[in-house]
């Protein structure tokens, strides 16, 4: 009786019906949509360029529109706090609509969602150019443009995750560099447009510029699976007829990610981090002015921070992709947060312009590291299949922290009249997040190590499904652990192989008379020839 046994490395993916709870430090071997392996190049570079542009628009635009605030104050007779709500609403829409974006992506795909989002982003700015009150700008620029940018930002990260696996840390670092690059370009552009055409003309032109989001969306070509495998699956489905099993309906928002303790640890740590992460860039200029520096010199601090940030993000992406670093990228992320928090704590003691320049250099370096790693770590935790839902839920949690962090720091400043306490609070919050992530991850991996070894077993199944021989591997390598995440591809391949075996046996019975003698050596040679299909292999190592 012929036995079917999985090959050495892929056996782990075949032996576990459901993926075990992931550790935070684990790196997923992503196969992309419908079991397609990430190409790590090719058209992926075009996708990376689109993600670079979208990331720049999404993060830099809320800051870039602030150059029009003085004109809006003069036009509508409102205060600075009233105009500041424009940027706040933009950020709230970018983060808070994460679950909505996840539902739309899972329902319609990334490309159509991004192209519609580009139209919304452009339409909001064009409508704002005809506004007659600050409320109109809240609704147009804040809500409509913010929703459009959100519908572009999240799908672009999802597509980047599908196109890159081995080079994903580098791709994340390069795409994250779009934020400081766009900020360095959009802020001066906004000043020029305001000087030449006024705030209404500037909004109109920026609305046209945001139509480039539609172009970036068009670059997000969906990955298509191998035609041969697809045709085999379709053929088998047709042959099964009424007995075929229906494919379970895909979830529009997968809440099962909350069962993953690694995801929960990441979400809690990231939410605490965001409370203090964005505070220093908001207050650094006013901090410098408080110390008696000129407006020009004070504004230069943001340029220094942004310049360092541009180079820090791709550099950190390269480091995170190194062979010995990538499996431990969560600890690199924890170090980046700890570095950022300690920089805030030390910067709170700055007393002159030179010390603020040094602070901006180190803050830009640590801020760039955090920006390059935050989504890379999330991708490594949940994998491609659940990333679209996971990022939406994470952004929703961070939206609360984004709305609480800077305003809370502003109230602290009003109460104490001292910037030192603002930077101290921000630093403490970021340091706590780093400690939570690193400590919980370390303890979690130690607890799970023994349990994971018990679950990762290779199973030998006989063709009549009556006898099973289980073998526990003595050593579990990282590559074997990655195979456990490929459950969807495993099911498809097993289905194809099983059907081919049945068809082959039927052909042998039809072609061979009962009285015909069989050469045992020929049969033995035939059975020893492994037939590869994806990551599965058939070998008669166990015969009953």
49-99 pLDDT tens trace: 999 999 989 888 887 787 788 888 888 888 776 787 887 788 888 888 888
Band the pLDDT of 350: cuts 50, 70, 90: confident
Q: Which residue has the higher pLDDT, 477 or 285?
A: 285
How far is 92 from 73, CA to CA, in rounded Å?
Answer: 22
pLDDT in the model for residue 533:
40
pLDDT in the model for residue 532:
41
Beta-carbon contacts of residue 447 (< 8 Å; ≥ 6 apart): none
pLDDT in the model for residue 430:
92
| Whether the Cβ atoms of residue 68 and residue 203 lie closer than 8 Å to each other | yes
pLDDT in the model for residue 122:
94
Band the pLDDT of 432: cuts 50, 70, 90: very high
Q: Tell me the C-alpha to C-alpha distance, in Å, between residue 463 and each of 239, 488, 503, 507.
A: 20, 22, 13, 17
Q: Which residue has the higher pLDDT, 323 or 200?
A: 200
Mean pLDDT of 179-191: 83
pLDDT in the model for residue 361:
92
Residue 444 has pLDDT above 90, yes or no: no
Mean pLDDT of 453-476: 43
| Whether the Cβ atoms of residue 367 and residue 315 lie closer than 8 Å to each other | no
Band the pLDDT of 126: cuts 50, 70, 90: very high
Q: Cite the beta strand spans of 254-357 per DSSP E.
A: none
pLDDT in the model for residue 14:
37
Band the pLDDT of 528: cuts 50, 70, 90: low
pTM for the whole structure: 0.66
Residue keyed to tokens 């071997």: 29
How far is 239 from 244, CA to CA, in rounded Å?
Answer: 9
Domain boundaries of the chain, sorted by first residue = 3-19+457-528, 39-223, 256-455
pLDDT in the model for residue 515:
46
Q: Do domains 39-223 and 256-455 have the same CATH topology?
A: yes
Q: Is 410 exposed, middle or buried (0-12, 13-18, 19+ CB in 10 A)?
A: middle
The SS3 call for residue 244 is coil
532: Cα within 13 Å, side-chain hemisphere:
5
pLDDT in the model for residue 419:
84
At 513, give phi and psi (nearest 5°). Answer: -65, 155
Residue 181 has pLDDT above 90, yes or no: no
Residue 360 corresponds to which tokens in the numbers above? 């901006």
Instruction: Name the strands in the sheet holding 3-5, side by side, starting at the edge strand that comes first in the sequence.
Output: 3-5, 458-462, 468-471
Mean pLDDT of 5-15: 38
pLDDT in the model for residue 215:
92
pLDDT in the model for residue 362:
93
| Whether the Cβ atoms of residue 212 and residue 118 lie closer than 8 Å to each other | yes
Q: What is 256-455's CATH number? A: 1.20.1250.20
Q: Which helix (H) or strand (E) holds 468?
A: strand 468-471
Q: Tell me the C-alpha to C-alpha distance, in Å, between residue 371 and each of 87, 93, 113, 275, 340.
A: 20, 19, 24, 15, 11
Residue 476 has pLDDT above 50, yes or no: no
pLDDT digits (tens, 9 = 90+) for 203-223: 999 999 999 999 999 998 887
If you write DSSP's letter for every residue of 94-152 in order, what string do you get? HHHTHHHHHHHHHHH-HHHHHHHHHHHHHHHHHHHTT-SSHHHHIIIIIIIIHHHHHHH
pLDDT digits (tens, 9 = 90+) for 224-283: 765 545 555 555 555 554 444 455 555 667 677 788 788 888 889 988 998 888 888 878
pLDDT in the model for residue 195:
85
| Whether the Cβ atoms of residue 533 and residue 8 lie closer than 8 Å to each other | no
Task: Report the C-alpha dihedral over residues 371, 372, 374, 378, rounded to 10 degrees.
Answer: 150
| Whether the Cβ atoms of residue 23 and residue 448 lie closer than 8 Å to each other | yes
- How many other CB atoms sit within 10 Å of the CB of residue 296? 7
Residue 199 corresponds to which tokens in the numbers above? 């705030």
Q: Which residue has the higher pLDDT, 451 or 11?
A: 451
C-alpha 487: how far from chain center: 21
How far is 355 from 348, CA to CA, in rounded Å?
Answer: 10
Q: Which helix (H) or strand (E) holds 4?
A: strand 3-5
| Whether the Cβ atoms of residue 168 and residue 376 lie closer than 8 Å to each other | yes
Beta-carbon contacts of residue 341 (< 8 Å; ≥ 6 apart): 276, 426, 427, 428, 429, 430, 431, 432, 433, 434
- The domain defined by 39-223 folds into Growth Hormone; Chain: A; (1.20.1250)
Report angle CA 266, 267, 273 to the nearest 5 degrees. Answer: 85
Q: Which residue has the higher pLDDT, 263 or 41?
A: 263
C-alpha 535: how far from chain center: 26
First to last CA, the chain: 5
At 471, give phi and psi (nearest 5°). Answer: -125, 125
């Amino acid at each position: 009786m012929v036995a079917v046994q999985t090959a050495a490395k892929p056996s782990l993916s075949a032996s576990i019906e459901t993926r075990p709870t992931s550790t935070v430090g684990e790196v997923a071997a992503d196969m992309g949509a419908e079991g397609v392996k990430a190409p790590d190049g090719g058209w992926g570079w075009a996708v990376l360029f689109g993600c670079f542009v979208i990331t720049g628009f999404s993060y830099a635009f809320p800051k870039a529109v602030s150059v029009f605030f003085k004109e809006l104050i003069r036009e509508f007779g409102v205060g600075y706090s009233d105009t500041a709500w424009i940027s706040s609403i933009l950020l709230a829409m970018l983060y808070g609509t994460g679950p909505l974006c996840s539902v739309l992506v899972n329902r319609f795909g990334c490309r159509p969602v991004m192209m519609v989002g580009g139209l919304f982003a452009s339409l909001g700015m064009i409508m704002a150019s005809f506004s007659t009150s600050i409320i109109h700008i809240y609704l147009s620029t804040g809500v409509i443009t913010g929703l459009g940018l959100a519908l572009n930002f999240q799908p672009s990260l999802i597509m980047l995750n599908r196109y890159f696996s081995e080079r994903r840390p580098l791709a994340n670092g390069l795409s994250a560099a779009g934020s400081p690059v766009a900020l360095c370009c959009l802020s001066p552009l906004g000043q020029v447009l305001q000087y030449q055409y006024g705030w209404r003309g500037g909004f109109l032109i920026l609305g046209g510029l945001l139509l480039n989001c539609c172009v970036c969306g068009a670059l997000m070509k969906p990955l298509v699976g191998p035609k041969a495998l697809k045709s085999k699956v379709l053929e088998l489905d047709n042959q099964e007829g009424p007995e075929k099993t229906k494919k379970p309906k895909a979830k529009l928002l997968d809440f099962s990610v909350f069962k993953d303790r690694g995801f929960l640890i990441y979400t809690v740590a990231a939410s605490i981090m965001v409370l203090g992460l964005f505070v220093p860039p908001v207050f650094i200029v006013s901090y410098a002015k408080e110390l008696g520096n000129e407006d020009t010199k004070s504004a230069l601090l943001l340029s220094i921070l942004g310049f360092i940030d541009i180079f820090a993000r791709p550099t950190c992406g390269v480091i995170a992709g190194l062979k010995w670093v990538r499996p431990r990228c969560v600890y690199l992320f924890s170090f980046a947060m700890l570095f950022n928090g300690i920089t805030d704590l030390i910067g709170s003691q700055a007393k002159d312009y030179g010390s603020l320049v040094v602070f901006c250099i180190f803050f830009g370096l640590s801020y760039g590291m955090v920006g390059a790693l935050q989504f890379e770590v999330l991708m490594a935790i949940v994998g491609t299949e659940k990333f679209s839902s996971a990022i939406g839920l994470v952004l929703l949690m961070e939206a609360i922290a984004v709305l609480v962090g800077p305003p809370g720091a502003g109230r602290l400043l009003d109460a104490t009249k001292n910037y030192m306490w603002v930077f101290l609070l921000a630093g403490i919050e970021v340091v706590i997040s780093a400690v939570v992530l690193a400590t919980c991850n370390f303890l979690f991996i130690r607890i799970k190590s023994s349990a994971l070894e018990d679950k990762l077993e290779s199973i030998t199944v006989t063709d009549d499904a009556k006898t099973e021989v289980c073998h526990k591997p003595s050593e579990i390598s990282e590559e074997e652990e990655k195979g456990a995440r490929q459950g969807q591809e495993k099911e498809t391949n097993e289905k194809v192989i099983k059907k081919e075996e049945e068809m082959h046996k039927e052909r042998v019975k039809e072609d061979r008379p009962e009285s015909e003698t069989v050469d045992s050596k020929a049969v033995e040679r035939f059975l020893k020839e492994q037939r590869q299909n994806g990551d599965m292999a058939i070998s008669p190592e166990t015969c009953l």
